[in-house]
Chain A
Amino acid sequence: MIKPNQIVTQPSKSTCYHCGEDCKEEILPFDGKEFCCTGCKLVYEVLNENDLCSYYEIADNPGLSQKSISSRNNRFDYLNDLDIISKLVDFQNHEETHVTFSIPLIHCASCIWLLENLHKINAGIVSGRVDFIKKKVQIKFHQRDISLREVVSLLSRIGYEPSINLADVDKKAPAVSDQKLIYKLAVAGFCFGNMMLFSLPEYFAEAELLGNGFKKTFNYLNVLLALPVFFYAATDYYRSAWIAIKNRGVNMDVPIAVGIFTLFTYSLYDIFGLGNEGYMDTLGGLIFFLLIGKYYQQKTYDTLSFDRDYKSYFPVAVTKIVREEEEVIPLIKLHVGDIIKVRNEELVPADSILLEGEAFIDYSFVTGEEVPVIRKRGELIYAGGRQKGKSLLLTVQKSPSQGYLTDLWNNDSFEKEKANSLESLANRISGKFTVTVLLVALSALVYWSWNGQIALGVLSFTSVLIITCPCALAMSTPFTLGNTLRVFGQGKFFLKNSQVIERLAKVDTVVFDKTGTLTAPSQASVKYFGESLSAESKSLIKTMVNQSTHALSNRINTFLDGVKGLDLQEVEEVQGKGIRTIYKSQEIKLGSAEFVGEGNSDLPKGGNLVFFAIESSVLGYFFIQSGLRKGIKEVVNNIQETRLVHFLSGDQDHERVNLKNIFGNEVLMNFNQGPTDKLAYIKQLNQNGANTLMIGDGLNDAGALREAKVGIALTDKITNFSPASDAIMDASMIQKLPAFLRFTHTSRNIIKASFGLSFTYNFVGVFFAVQGLVSPVFCAILMPISSISVVVFTTLTTNYLAYKRGLKEKII
């Protein structure tokens, strides 16, 4: 498509035909089109050969830049390993293999089109099927014609490299069980609908449309239809109630189960014994509405994953050096003492000692700090770091699961599930509720029997149990929490499930991780010290950093925003040290102290230094500190009003004074905290009776996130990366954290208010029930009215209050 304004304003620039990025370094013309790198060109060539260029017509520049893709040929060799294959594939017979890959790069219609037309590139592939939301593709192929390894390298060749990590191989996640609920809901809905039809003549008893024979038939049909509801659709409630009673507790499901049993048995007696109509339609409606509530509560976010551990980030295979030869082996077969090779952009899979090479390790996904650290020969490199630069040789010191970071997952806290807070609001009330209802029912029975009317006594006893069946009570919680979950989700605060809301409401201690949570790489503060820079020097520096991808270069680049660049010949980047260029026949260097030859030791600490030197005389340096997130001060102050705030940091404590100045003296700060220390710290707080909320971002916080009553993982890109947690929050929404916390209290109040509403209904119902005046028609009217009004009430108040507090843009 031609974009006229682009041509006018940028006549000299050309964009890549494949990925749409500006061709900065080189322009590769091919077939009348221009490409930014060989990777992009290669993808085009493959597609062109196979007549698949419609790919480029479905969306504009659908490809993604192929610059950083590794082109090593043997990196998929581990896919020849039979063990690995059997764990990766979904299905295999003598002819066909089915395998599902997760491809994070899927982002547009062209992606779907291409991945579903793989059979045109290789005849061995039968079909591909994309799930766009989950970013997955299922590929079916004949293993005789194409191997799994070839399939993966084909995908990689066309620019869609699947992400295969240790978790994929470790175990297959079992199919989700929430489908069962949908089946039950369908059965209950079907039976309820039909029962309502057959009960209709009852409601117009005076009309006498049909003879007595029909009445009986309809009642028997109702019994027939009630059977699947009673024996299948409602089974979850019996199980849950039974577990609660076994643990000597009462939860919401106990009164529900009691109600269901009374309704069913009394109706059977009523229909077969007395020849009356029974309450089967009420039973069907009750279970149908309850299941709808349950379904509404189960809001899931398919694209997010709340239970990722280090295995989701670690590679499946490593390159091992055996007798001078490279061999790609699965990570599970890696042993202590093995020598491994780690290349540029690859992850160090186990704690190891550096044997050879220069290590610039980026620990960003462990700590949140993205400036690589330098490690020398003989030093230990922790698992989880990513090498930026040339290949390294390492000896493995600990097995991948026993490292400094990964040892966290051997802690007990990962063994047990977080307690499904039995003392939740609904459960606490339902205990008292059940006792009261039983007392009322019994006293009605005793009262009538005393007066010699035993039949009426039994009737009022069962009526009380039937009419107080806590349908409305049981629905207020799921609908309020379900609505809150949705409101939070719209605010980019994604909760794992609705129980997290109740736990959040109780939080009294908030613990922040410092690096990456309080501070943000994008908010770096840059200061310049030394001789003042002329406009020319500024332009020079700007041009130099513009050509480097190093994190510090980017920060200086943003610092010099608005400065015009120069036309430089060649900028050379010395990996991990700095950048160098020749300008007006002078050597210009920008980089570390060692790189420019600076020996001064009296320099500020607590940040990164970048020196600027012309002809080996140092003019000055940039002092770069990771800055605080926007609005974080207000967030902390706001939370402090009602809760305790702690900071945890893996860094030295040189920033203590600085942080104290900003956040005040009441914040408890702890420095030098390793991953296990953080976990232990939270455990200690919990043992002292605190309800902790941990907010962290890196894998090193994973233990603390897990141990805390609620763990929130903060992430800059929601779909990207986050350690296991109860909730995932978009980093840009952190300002709203106090509002979210406050809203959890609001939703508790809404639940309480709707309890009040349903109690009112129950009082009215009990008033008639003790007198033995309850009829099926009465039940059939009161029951849906109470349920529906509670649902409407909670939904409207939750959404209205969220809108009023600014958590939501529209009311509904």
Chain B
Amino acid sequence: MEVIFILIAISLMLAGSFLFLFFKAMKSGQFDDNHTPAIRILFENETKTKDKKQVPSTTKSK
């Protein structure tokens, strides 16, 4: 049953890394605006099919 110590360590590390990722997402502003990205995701497709050259320069803030 000693294996449970390893499992506990793994589970804590896993949960801790989720917490860390959440903090990172908060800091990067992922939750600041949760409306615009929903609209934005619809354009990207359209511009890709229209003019392929422009794609690399489309908006990317981070």
Please measure, in the bound complex, the distance between the C-alpha atom of A349 and the C-alpha atom of B48, giving whole angstroms.
48
Q: A113-B43, A210-B1 are in contact. Are A120 and B59 (CB under 8 A)?
A: no
A54 contacts chain B at the CB level, 8 A cutoff: yes
Residues of A contacting B43 with CB < 8 Å? Answer: 58, 109, 112-113, 116
Please measure, in the bound complex, the distance between the C-alpha atom of A54 and the C-alpha atom of B30, giving whole angstroms.
27
Are the CB atoms of B42 and A109 closer together than 8 Å? yes
Please measure, in the bound complex, the distance between the C-alpha atom of A130 and the C-alpha atom of B38, giving whole angstroms.
12
Q: A51-B51, A128-B59, A186-B23 are in contact. Are A109 and B39 (CB under 8 A)?
A: yes
Partner of B59, one of A51, A116, A197: A116
Are the CB atoms of A134 and B39 closer together than 8 Å? no
Stretch at the interface among A38-46, A187-195, A518-526, A792-800: A187-195
Q: A127-B60, A128-B59, A131-B32 are in contact. Are A194 and B40 (CB under 8 A)?
A: no
How many residue pairs link A and B with beta carbons under 8 A? The number is 70
Are the CB atoms of B19 and A186 closer together than 8 Å? yes
Please measure, in the bound complex, the distance between the C-alpha atom of A179 and the C-alpha atom of B26, giving whole angstroms.
8
Q: A54-B46, A132-B35 are in contact. Are A183 and B23 (CB under 8 A)?
A: yes
Are the CB atoms of B50 and A190 closer together than 8 Å? no
Residues of B contacting A127 with CB < 8 Å? Answer: 59-61
If A193-B15, A210-B4 are given as contacts, then 18 extra A-B residue pairs at C-beta distance below 8 Å, sorted by A number, are: A54-B47, A54-B50, A58-B43, A112-B36, A116-B58, A127-B61, A131-B36, A132-B39, A134-B33, A183-B26, A187-B19, A190-B18, A190-B19, A194-B11, A210-B1, A214-B1, A217-B5, A221-B8
Chain B residue at smallest Cβ distance from A112:
B39
Are the CB atoms of B47 and A133 closer together than 8 Å? no
**A interface residues (Cβ-Cβ under 8 A, vs B):** 51, 54, 57-58, 109, 112-113, 116-117, 119-120, 127-134, 138, 140, 179, 182-183, 186-187, 190, 193-194, 197, 210-211, 214, 217, 221
- Would you mind naming 26 contact pairs between A and B with Cβ atoms under 8 Å apart? A58-B46, A109-B39, A109-B43, A113-B43, A116-B59, A117-B59, A119-B57, A127-B59, A131-B32, A131-B33, A132-B36, A133-B35, A134-B33, A140-B61, A182-B26, A183-B23, A186-B23, A190-B16, A190-B18, A190-B19, A193-B15, A194-B11, A194-B12, A194-B15, A214-B4, A217-B8
Chain A residue at smallest Cβ distance from B42:
A109
Chain A: minimal CB distance from B1 (Å): 7
Please measure, in the bound complex, the distance between the C-alpha atom of A210 and the C-alpha atom of B42, giving whole angstroms.
54
Please measure, in the bound complex, the distance between the C-alpha atom of A113 and the C-alpha atom of B39, giving whole angstroms.
9
Residues of B contacting A132 with CB < 8 Å? Answer: 33, 35-36, 39
B28 contacts chain A at the CB level, 8 A cutoff: no
Please measure, in the bound complex, the distance between the C-alpha atom of A190 and the C-alpha atom of B20, giving whole angstroms.
11
Residues of A contacting B15 with CB < 8 Å? Answer: 190, 193-194
* Residue from B43, B51, B59, B61 having most chain A Cβ neighbours under 10 A: B59
Chain B: minimal CB distance from A775 (Å): 24
Are the CB atoms of B61 and A129 closer together than 8 Å? yes
Chain B: minimal CB distance from A185 (Å): 10
Residues of B contacting A210 with CB < 8 Å? Answer: 1, 4
Are the CB atoms of A133 and B33 closer together than 8 Å? yes
Chain B: minimal CB distance from A190 (Å): 5
Residues of A contacting B60 with CB < 8 Å? Answer: 127
* Residue from B35, B36, B40, B60 having most chain A Cβ neighbours under 10 A: B36
Q: A120-B54, A134-B33 are in contact. Are A129 and B5 (CB under 8 A)?
A: no
Please measure, in the bound complex, the distance between the C-alpha atom of A197 and the C-alpha atom of B42, giving whole angstroms.
42
Residues of A contacting B57 with CB < 8 Å? Answer: 119
Chain A: minimal CB distance from B50 (Å): 6
Please measure, in the bound complex, the distance between the C-alpha atom of A211 and the C-alpha atom of B32, giving whole angstroms.
48
Chain B residue at smallest Cβ distance from A127:
B59
The list of the 5 closest CB pairs from A to B, nearest first, reads A132-B36, A131-B33, A116-B59, A127-B59, A190-B19
Residues of A contacting B59 with CB < 8 Å? Answer: 116-117, 127-129
Chain B: minimal CB distance from A329 (Å): 34
Please measure, in the bound complex, the distance between the C-alpha atom of A187 and the C-alpha atom of B18, giving whole angstroms.
11
Chain B residue at smallest Cβ distance from A115:
B59
Chain A residue at smallest Cβ distance from B16:
A190
Chain B: minimal CB distance from A229 (Å): 13
Please measure, in the bound complex, the distance between the C-alpha atom of A233 and the C-alpha atom of B32, giving whole angstroms.
22
Chain B residue at smallest Cβ distance from A129:
B61
Chain A: minimal CB distance from B13 (Å): 11
Please measure, in the bound complex, the distance between the C-alpha atom of A58 and the C-alpha atom of B46, giving whole angstroms.
9
Residues of B contacting A119 with CB < 8 Å? Answer: 57
Chain B residue at smallest Cβ distance from A198:
B8
Chain A residue at smallest Cβ distance from B27:
A179
Residues of A contacting B42 with CB < 8 Å? Answer: 109
Residues of B contacting A217 with CB < 8 Å? Answer: 5, 8
Chain B: minimal CB distance from A748 (Å): 33
Chain A residue at smallest Cβ distance from B61:
A129
Chain A: minimal CB distance from B39 (Å): 5
Please measure, in the bound complex, the distance between the C-alpha atom of A120 and the C-alpha atom of B56, giving whole angstroms.
12
Chain B: minimal CB distance from A199 (Å): 13
Residues of B contacting A116 with CB < 8 Å? Answer: 40, 43, 58-59
Residues of A contacting B54 with CB < 8 Å? Answer: 120
Residues of A contacting B32 with CB < 8 Å? Answer: 131
Residues of B contacting A179 with CB < 8 Å? Answer: 26
Please measure, in the bound complex, the distance between the C-alpha atom of A752 and the C-alpha atom of B11, giving whole angstroms.
43
Residues of B contacting A194 with CB < 8 Å? Answer: 11-12, 15
Residues of B contacting A120 with CB < 8 Å? Answer: 54
Residues of B contacting A187 with CB < 8 Å? Answer: 19
Chain B: minimal CB distance from A264 (Å): 21
Chain A residue at smallest Cβ distance from B2:
A213
Please measure, in the bound complex, the distance between the C-alpha atom of A193 and the C-alpha atom of B58, giving whole angstroms.
41
Please measure, in the bound complex, the distance between the C-alpha atom of A211 and the C-alpha atom of B1, giving whole angstroms.
9
Partner of B22, one of A58, A128, A186, A211: A186
Residues of B contacting A140 with CB < 8 Å? Answer: 61
Please measure, in the bound complex, the distance between the C-alpha atom of A128 and the C-alpha atom of B57, giving whole angstroms.
11
Please measure, in the bound complex, the distance between the C-alpha atom of A286 and the C-alpha atom of B58, giving whole angstroms.
47
Chain A residue at smallest Cβ distance from B34:
A133
Chain B residue at smallest Cβ distance from A210:
B1
Residues of A contacting B18 with CB < 8 Å? Answer: 190
Please measure, in the bound complex, the distance between the C-alpha atom of A128 and the C-alpha atom of B26, giving whole angstroms.
21
Please measure, in the bound complex, the distance between the C-alpha atom of A557 and the C-alpha atom of B32, giving whole angstroms.
46
Residues of B contacting A54 with CB < 8 Å? Answer: 46-47, 50
Chain B residue at smallest Cβ distance from A221:
B8
Residues of B contacting A133 with CB < 8 Å? Answer: 33, 35-36
Chain B residue at smallest Cβ distance from A133:
B35
Residues of A contacting B22 with CB < 8 Å? Answer: 186
Please measure, in the bound complex, the distance between the C-alpha atom of A109 and the C-alpha atom of B39, giving whole angstroms.
7
Chain A residue at smallest Cβ distance from B46:
A54
Please measure, in the bound complex, the distance between the C-alpha atom of A137 and the C-alpha atom of B61, giving whole angstroms.
12
Please measure, in the bound complex, the distance between the C-alpha atom of A186 and the C-alpha atom of B19, giving whole angstroms.
7
Chain B residue at smallest Cβ distance from A98:
B61
Chain B residue at smallest Cβ distance from A225:
B12
Chain A: minimal CB distance from B4 (Å): 7
Please measure, in the bound complex, the distance between the C-alpha atom of A618 and the C-alpha atom of B40, giving whole angstroms.
60
Please measure, in the bound complex, the distance between the C-alpha atom of A291 and the C-alpha atom of B4, giving whole angstroms.
32
Please measure, in the bound complex, the distance between the C-alpha atom of A182 and the C-alpha atom of B60, giving whole angstroms.
26
Residues of A contacting B12 with CB < 8 Å? Answer: 194, 221
Chain A: minimal CB distance from B11 (Å): 8
